[in-house]
Structure 1
Amino acid sequence: MNIFNIISEIEKVDADVYERLAHISRRSMFNTIGKKVSAFAIPTLVATSLSKAYATTPGAIDVLNYALTLEYLENEFYIAGNNASGLIPAAEKPIFTQIGKHETQHVAFLLAALGTKAVAKPKFDFTYKGAFADVLSNYKTFAIVSHALEDTGVRAYKGQAGNLMTAEDKPLLEYALQIHSVEARHASVVRRLLNTKGFVAGAKGWITLNQGSPAAVYAGEDNTTQGGVNLEGLAGKSKEAVTEAFDEPLTKEAVLAIATPFLG
């Protein structure tokens, strides 16, 4: 993301952006970014400004708080995993350290965008009510839970994109989709790691059919009909190939059902 193009890009979909952002000027924003703010803090600065301008509709607030709850979960999961002595092998530690940094930034961004409207961070049970009892002591379990969380995040963001399509909320949609793409890269890296380590033989960087665990995370991923057309068999493509080419959204209700056992 080129931070210096953000306001200009928003202007393309909202000619009144400068009136909405009356509490800052374009020059003062860029001067602040250029001279006074660290690179790490820039997303939070922009999110705070956008919060005052856009995060006011009930729909946007609901979607962003829903996303924040999932980001809280992922962030705390990686904090716990990265701090667990001897859990992650040295060779893979940089992967999960970097993913953890991304999740921390996502939380900071959403908190800034929501301001006082942000939901409080809940307590979490990473064992999934005992189903993953050794998640912080067994690397295989940790990696499997990681890939499930990332795949859930990808489908969750996709499932809510349509709710940010109003004229007032479209600028927020851009940022939600930017987080979505990062979550997808996380999922791909961890899925490939599962195969490399022999935890899930043959696992690819993308989802085939509805393969994955827990099963609820992957429900519906074996769909082959897109835009009303069943693509299976067209141009000789197998069902497996078709499902790999498309990712399916999850409803808010389905995501909350998956996430609820993580709540302490």
Structure 2
Amino acid sequence: MNILKLLDKLSDDKFFTTETSRLETLTNISSFGKKAVIAAVPFGLGALMTTPAKAETTDTTKNATFFKSALTDALQLALVLEYLENEYYALGLAASSLIPSADRVVFMQIAKHESAHVTFLKNTLTSLGVTPGAKPTFDFTANGSFSPFTDYNQFLVLAQAFEDTGVRAYKGQAGNVMSNKTVLQAALQIHSVEARHASQVRRMRANKGWIELADGGNMPSATNPVYAGEGNTNQAGFNTATAFGAAAGSAAYDEILIGSDAQAIASLFIV
């Protein structure tokens, strides 16, 4: 199976695939932005943005502010994670003789996705009347703990950690973007792309394409926070380990990563 076709063909995320031209992408983002402005307002208030102004109650205004704040905070967190991945792959591809030629085409494709995600999130925040956060200054050595741009094995280790973090973080923020169905759909599409990235990188490290228990698969202890909680086998009051075994039961579900935990992981690589 061609991994490049897998990354692009098995989803409807036209915003983020290479088959969409630059003009089509900009048109999609522009259309999305117009919808997002209205969709960001809680149900029942969207009409107020296309009709003459009406009086709003104090409670309604507070609700609108709360939902928009939760939404934009989630998008800002996602943007930080996408900034991190985007710069990481750019530096990796720029590092001489780091990535073997057989793997290089895969990371070029992943890098294109991450760049598109950054652009998309920035345009979305702007369309919501919020200034996108500036790109942080990253230290991918984590203060000397890693050498990802001189050691390909370490490059793959951090690539896996970043992708697995992104998958769990996007899932963890789903509740915060549900007030905007357009953003929710796009976020879930990005989530699916990140999941395929994660699966491919894991396989490139000779791991399974999924996580079992809280084992990242030959990962250093510094990455333990990425996998903390993944051993959970209780879903909706049912212990999946009873029917399928602990490994299979835990592998059937990705656990969420709350915003503060995702921020803590990212902060390890921010100066």
Report TM bin, short chain.
0.7 to 0.9
Structure 1 residue aligned with 2:186: 175
Q: What do you get for the CA RMSD once the two structures are aligned? A: 2.0
- Equivalent residue for 1:215? 224
Contact 2:79–2:122, Cα closer than 8 Å, also in 1: yes
For residues 6-45 of structure 1, what are the structure 2 equivalents within 5 Å? 38-45=23-30
Q: Does 1:127 align with 2:141?
A: yes
**Structure 2: which amino acid aligns with 1:228?**
G
Over the matched positions of the two proteins, sequence identity in percent amounts to: 46
For 2:13 and 2:107, locate their aligned partners in 1 and report how far apart those are by CA, in whole Å.
Answer: 25
Residue 160 (structure 1) shift: 0.6
Q: Which has the higher contact order (CA 8 A, sep 6+)?
A: 2
Letter in 2 for 1:83: A
8 Å Cα contact 1:81-1:87 kept in structure 2: yes
**Is 1:261 equivalent to 2:265 in the alignment?**
no
Whichever residue aligns with residue 111 of structure 1, its letter is K
Q: Which residue is equivalent to 1:148?
A: 161
Q: Which residue of 2 aligns with 1:67?
A: 78
What's the secondary structure of 1:258's corresponding residue? helix
| TM-score, length-scaled by structure 1 | 0.79
C-alpha displacement of 1:187:
0.1
Residue 195 of structure 2 is matched in structure 1 by 184
Instruction: State the TM-score, normalized to the length of structure 2.
Output: 0.77
1:3 and 1:150 mapped to 2: Cα distance? 20
Listed one character per residue, the Cα deviations across residues 211-244 of structure 1 (whole Å, up to 9, x for unaligned) are: 123111000001010001111121xx21111111
What's the offset of the Cα at 1:48?
3.2
1:96 aligned onto 2:107:
yes
Amino acid at match of 1:66: L
Counterpart residue identity of residue 254, structure 1: D
How far, CA to CA, are the matches of 1:92 and 1:226 in structure 2? 37
TM-aligned CA distance change 1:170 to 1:48, over 3 Å: closer
Q: Tell me the SS of whatever aligns to 1:207.
A: coil
Q: Could you tell me how far 1:51 is from its partner in structure 2?
A: 4.4
Q: Residues 188-223 of structure 1, C-alpha deviation per residue, up to 9 Å, x if partnerless? A: 00000000xxxxxxx100001111231110000010
The aligned residue for residue 16 of structure 1 is none
Distance verdict in 2 for CA 1:79–1:52, change over 3 Å: same
Gap runs ≥5 in structure 1: 5-33, 196-202
Distance in 1 of aligned mates of 2:24 and 2:177? 27
Aligned residues: 222
Deviations 1:27-46 (A, max 9, x none): xxxxxxx9x96234344333
